[in-house]
Amino acid sequence: MDTKLTTERHVIERYLAGQLSDEEADAFERALETHPELARDVERIARMKTGFAVLERRGELAKLLAQPVATSHRRPVWVAAAAAVVLALGFLVFRQPETSVTAPLLAASLAALSSHSESPIPLRSSLALARARGMGFDAELTSSGKSAGAAELELATGAGTVTHYAVDLLAVDSAGAPSVAKVPDVVTDATGTVRVFVSLHALAPGRYLLRLSPADAGAPIEYLIALRPPQSPG
């Protein structure tokens, strides 16, 4: 995706609305990692979108748009009129069923994981996982419950730098291991490590498998993870 294109507002709006193709979304999320100003734009627009939805639920938006603007040549009145037009246009751009917005469970960056949140999701833990797995869990995390939270997982692959992997998060239960989230393309760093971010509040407690599938169709690498229920206060 062209750098200039990623800075255009309509691309951010389409990203937040889930209207980008998988390839476009992957490219956009990679751009988020290297362009902090773009991540700030995504956060600002997501906040605006949430504000419109809240006003609509409360029945306040229609009243606000219906307020007459007094005829006057004074600048404050023109500012008020312009604000009403901006609000109306913004509402038309962002209006969509709230059920269509799903909080990401897995992402290649904290900014991407926070893309549908009103504010950046705080990082609550960071774990480095070894490649070899024994009989137990490779990592044990604790759900943050109703409080937003994320965990950074550093996954050793044994591969070289700039090796591409698709990362799948699978829920391990009696019915098998259905996929619940996926990052189609993550690249290793200079140490052969892949970094992904997992939601600690949107993901239900349970057992999960992180599967890294190399782009060259080689053998996948798997990590077993337990997400424990939130800790009770006290």
Q: Tens digits of per-residue pLDDT, 2-43?
A: 445 445 567 777 776 677 787 887 787 777 777 777 777 777
Q: Which amino acid is at 61?
A: L
pLDDT at 57: 60
**Residue where a domain stops, chosen among 100, 128, 143:** 100
Q: Which residue has the tokens 């229920």?
A: 229
87, part of any domain: yes
My answer on whether 72 and 143 are in the same domain is: no
My answer on whether 223 and 150 are in the same domain is: yes
My answer on whether 204 and 150 are in the same domain is: yes
CB 127 within 8 A of CB 152: yes
**Residue where a domain stops, chosen among 56, 85, 100:** 100
| Phi and psi, residue 135, nearest 5° | -85, -20
My answer on whether 166 and 222 are in the same domain is: yes
pLDDT at 106: 95
pLDDT at 159: 86
CB 10 within 8 A of CB 28: no
16, part of any domain: yes
Domain that holds residue 158: 106-228
What Cα–Cα distance (Å) separates residue 83 from each residue in 61, 73, 94? 13, 16, 16
Q: Express each pLDDT in 58-99 by its tens digit.
A: 666 566 666 665 544 444 443 444 444 444 445 444 444 444
Q: Express each pLDDT in 205-226 by its tens digit.
A: 999 999 999 998 888 999 999 9
- Which residue, among 167, 189, 20, 154, has the nearest Cα to 105 in the 3D structure? 167
For the chain, the distance separating the N- and C-terminal CA atoms, rounded to the nearest angstrom, is 49
